[in-house]
Amino acid sequence: MKNIQSIISQMTLEEKAALCTGASAWTTTPVERLGVPEMIVSDGPHGVRRVPDVHAMMMESLPATCFPTASCLASTWDVELIHKMGEALAEECIALNVDVLLGPGANMKRSPLGGRNFEYFSEDPYLAGEMAASMINGIQSRGVGTSLKHYAANNQEFQRFSISAEIDERTLREIYLTAFEKAVKQAQPWTVMCSYNKVNGTFASEHHYLLTEILKNEWGFEGLVVSDWGAVRDRVAALKGGLDWEMPGPQERRVKAVVDAVNSGELDEAVLDESVRRILRIVFKAQETPKTGKFDIDAHHELARKIASEGMVLLKNNGILPLKGQQHIAVIGRSAETAHFQGGGSSHIHPTKVAMPYKELQARAENSELTYAEGYPSDNSFNQGMIDQAVGLAQSADVAILYIALPTFKESEGYDRPDLDLTDQQIALIKAVSKVQKHTVVVLNNGAPVAMSAWIDDVDAVLESWMMGQAGGAAVADVLFGRVNPSGKLAETFPLKLSDTPAHINWPGGAGEVHYGEGLFIGYRYYDAKEMPVLFPFGYGLSYTTFAYSNAKVSAKNFKDVDGLTVTVDVTNTGNVAGKETVQVYVHDQKSGLRRPEKELKGFAKVELKPGETKSVSIQLDFRSFAYYHPEYKQWITENGEFDILIAASAADIRESLTVTLESTLNLPCILDKESTIREWMADPRGSVVFGPFYQMMETESRKLFSGGGEDERYATDGAIGMDIMEMFSDMPLVSVLMFQQSSLPMPAEDIVAGFLAQVQAL
């Protein structure tokens, strides 16, 4: 790699400012006299959207493989498979002359209404982080860069360019930053893309705390931070915040603003130089991989097919699947003939080819007879004639397969979903067909949960096939006919109804703000806390076989947090066909200083088993598996105590439970002050030593004071004012409690507390 510092020393101020702004819609600004080439980036979390003209944004892109979208990818729970997809994406980037692919997206699915949810992995930060890191490692292993996005708290499309996500520090750290942190630390993406929105009042593009203090300094991110396209409001403020590269370009006025700011002293040139250094490092890194050659269209199509089949989730099956023998199959639904396999917006791919579901069914149906009815229109109109035609077809068939795709006018980048429902026509179609044909299978194409209560009890099977990519039509046929045993597990909860969802009363906000009032409790964390029934739980998915768990073990019953833990369990295929099972490990803290979710996913592994076969599965748990972020300590902490290790087939299907005892190795600083409550003083290890004796004396004196000075046993607990006075005092600041007893104290209450604090600091 070239001597970057030497190049920077030779650059003019104007060249530096220009380098920090794009030269076109998709390229960096070259500095030809110093041998600095341009770098080309392209949209594409699930495919390469490379446009022929780098100055154009919305023109049709060059043909590339359209892989399944992130909601399907996450449902594979297969990090090795996602790594292979990353390698394939890199091969296509090399063939299409792309240096950096803009993806993956690692934002949380706060609400199932989020219009861009199909581009994001999960409601759980651990799973999303593992998936993002694996894809990044796969892509970058071939010398192509990635752009982890959209950092941070980009969870809705409503006012996405300006809305301020109001989030408390602990929730931000534990839920909305964790996936990004895992991806950065485990994969070091070449770039991170900031989001459009504000976070706690500051634009993400200008957010020094997020971009510099956390991302670069705390997590050790070595790459460059790029803006989402059009996210920068104030270029100078963005540079100060840690935004290195603004897109798109050219932006002559932005360049001039940076030059003027340096000349006037408003912007330290050292800050600009640091952004230039980060950009040059990635530009030259990109040049190490020659962008020539071709990619194997057929091989990548087959990989897309495998990923789709692994990510599809069998939600219901009354024994009708897999389809068997000679029969008449009524195929209903326009998405059988017009495949719905990706979402709208910046991730829209021009596929190399598309497997049409109806044709793929025909190819596998052998001696079965297939007939087709469109069932529903492309728009939101209601057509009873289409329903009547479908009913007539279904009545004469042995089984009906309904292909139901959530249309783009209800789900796309750019706007949020208004509800969880299918269209009125689709709901009426399913109900009408299932009324005359008891053997009805529903195949869904959508990027996020849909409501099913109106019809699910009347159908025999439901297959969630997501936005399944260009080969998804073949993958659906493989699953329906049993050539592939479904193994997908949900990466998000399917609620019964919209009003059950965690963010419902705070969605989508207004007056420029959206309050994340549910805090830590999104997804299954919320449904656990509320003990609320759901349609399908997180981690759920059926198979054509069954699995038994046994012989659960941990590497130690008592362990130190820094040593972590190994969880082992035997899994047996107890059915008659080969299949894959995803073992999920959740952790439950029996007692903590701050409230924690009932359980949290901290590990998983997917295992393939032949009929009757048993394999031992081992899953590692580290320090962070048992820690939570404490906003007063401003760090991740562990606490001594017992934890339950829950080995599960889903969040609602715990198969084995083990209890372990953790020893915390942290030597935490004292955070007590005069406003700390008595309960907090007694809970602090050093505070209780210093304050404990005084507490005992205070308890005795308080009970006498508030019992009217009598010795009557009736006052021993309730006192003269009918309450347990010490319980009331427990959550009052110590200084306030002492104020009630000031007349009997030898010195002012503030001085007593100051003395206690001095003793604590001395321990």
Residue 350 has pLDDT above 80, yes or no: yes
- The phi and psi torsions of 152 (rounded to 5 degrees) equal -150, 170
Nearest to 224 by CA among 270, 261, 276: 276
590 compared with 57, residue with greater pLDDT: 590
> In sequence order, what are the residues at sequence separation of 6 or more whose Cβ sits closer than 8 angstroms to the Cβ of residue 45?
69, 70, 102, 103, 104, 105, 119, 347
Helical packing angle, 472-480 and 357-364, nearest 10°? 40
The DSSP code for 216 is I
Cα 279 to the center of its chain, rounded Å: 27
* Cα–Cα distance, 238 to 232 (Å, whole number): 7
Nearest to 509 by CA among 176, 108, 157: 157
Q: Are 598 and 588 in contact (CB under 8 A)?
A: yes
User: What local confidence, expressed as pLDDT, does residue 706 receive?
Assistant: 59
Which of the residues 43, 228, 589, 684 is marked catalytic? 228
Question: Residue range 366-384: average pLDDT?
Answer: 95
Residue ranges with strand state E in 286-398: 313-317, 328-332, 369-373
* Cα–Cα distance, 20 to 276 (Å, whole number): 7
Cα 108 to the center of its chain, rounded Å: 4
Residue ranges with strand state E in 465-599: 513-515, 547-554, 558-560, 565-573, 579-589
> In sequence order, what are the residues at sequence separation of 6 or more whose Cβ sits closer than 8 angstroms to the Cβ of residue 58?
none
Nearest to 654 by CA among 524, 462, 502, 518: 524
User: What local confidence, expressed as pLDDT, does residue 578 receive?
Assistant: 98
Give DSSP secondary structure letters for 20-83. Answer: TB-SSSSBPPPBGGGTB---BEEE-SSS-B--SSTT-SSSPPPPB--PPPHHHHHHH--HHHHH
Q: Which two tokens stand for residue 312?
A: 């599809």
Q: Which helix (H) or strand (E) holds 102?
A: strand 100-102
User: What local confidence, expressed as pLDDT, does residue 713 receive?
Assistant: 44
* Cα–Cα distance, 354 to 349 (Å, whole number): 11
Q: Is 529 helix (H, G, I), strand (E, B) or coil?
A: helix
What is the chain's length?
763
713 compared with 283, residue with greater pLDDT: 283
Q: What is the pLDDT of residues 251-303, one digit of tens each?
A: 999 999 999 999 999 999 999 999 999 999 999 999 999 999 899 999 999 99
Task: Name residue 703's amino acid.
Answer: R
User: What local confidence, expressed as pLDDT, does residue 736 receive?
Assistant: 87
User: What local confidence, expressed as pLDDT, does residue 740 receive?
Assistant: 78
- CATH code 2.60.40.10 region(s) in the chain: 547-663
- CATH code 3.20.20.300 region(s) in the chain: 4-286
- The phi and psi torsions of 623 (rounded to 5 degrees) equal -50, -45
Q: Are 440 and 459 in contact (CB under 8 A)?
A: yes
Q: Which helix (H) or strand (E) holds 697?
A: helix 685-706
Torsion, Cα 414 420 425 431, to 10 degrees, reads 160
Residue 61 burial by Cβ neighbours in a 10 Å radius (0-12, 13-18, 19+): buried
Residue 221 has pLDDT above 90, yes or no: yes
Band the pLDDT of 715: cuts 50, 70, 90. very low
Band the pLDDT of 714: cuts 50, 70, 90. very low
CA 177, 179, 181, 183 torsion: positive or negative?
negative
* Cα–Cα distance, 481 to 322 (Å, whole number): 5
Return the biggest CA–CA distance within the chain.
Answer: 97
Q: Which listed CATH number (1.25.40.10, 1.10.10.60, 3.30.420.40, 2.60.40.10) goes with 547-663? A: 2.60.40.10
Give DSSP secondary structure letters for 153-209. Answer: T---STTTTT-EEE--HHHIIIIISHHHHHHHHHH--SEEEEPSSEETTEEGGG-HI
Question: Residue range 307-329: average pLDDT?
Answer: 95
Considering the segment(s) 309-530 as one domain, its CATH architecture is 3-Layer(aba) Sandwich (3.40)
Residues forming a β-bridge with 328: 369
Q: What is the pLDDT of residues 614-652, one digit of tens each?
A: 999 999 999 999 999 999 999 999 999 999 999 999 999
Residues forming a β-bridge with 43: 49, 102
Can 416 be counted among the known catalytic residues?
no
Question: Residue range 225-243: average pLDDT?
Answer: 98
Look up the pTM and report it: 0.95
Residue 710 has pLDDT above 60, yes or no: no
Instruction: Decide the pairing of beta strands 565-573 and 440-445.
Output: unpaired
Q: Is 126 helix (H, G, I), strand (E, B) or coil?
A: helix
3-state secondary structure 266-297: CCCHHHHHHHHHHHHHHHHHHCCCCCCCCCCH
Q: Which two tokens stand for residue 530?
A: 């509320």
Residue 722 has pLDDT above 70, yes or no: no
- CATH code 3.40.50.1700 region(s) in the chain: 309-530
Question: Residue range 202-224: average pLDDT?
Answer: 98
Helical packing angle, 297-311 and 79-95, nearest 10°? 150
Percent of the chain topping pLDDT 90: 87
Tokens 């068997």 belong to residue: 324
Q: What is the pLDDT of residues 470-516, one digit of tens each?
A: 999 999 999 999 999 999 999 999 999 999 999 999 999 999 999 99
Band the pLDDT of 746: cuts 50, 70, 90. confident
Tokens 């295992």 belong to residue: 607
- Does domain 4-286 fall under CATH 3.40.50.300? My reply is no
Residue 622 burial by Cβ neighbours in a 10 Å radius (0-12, 13-18, 19+): middle
Band the pLDDT of 244: cuts 50, 70, 90. very high
* Cα–Cα distance, 435 to 439 (Å, whole number): 10
**Bond before 746 cis per omega within 30 degrees:** no
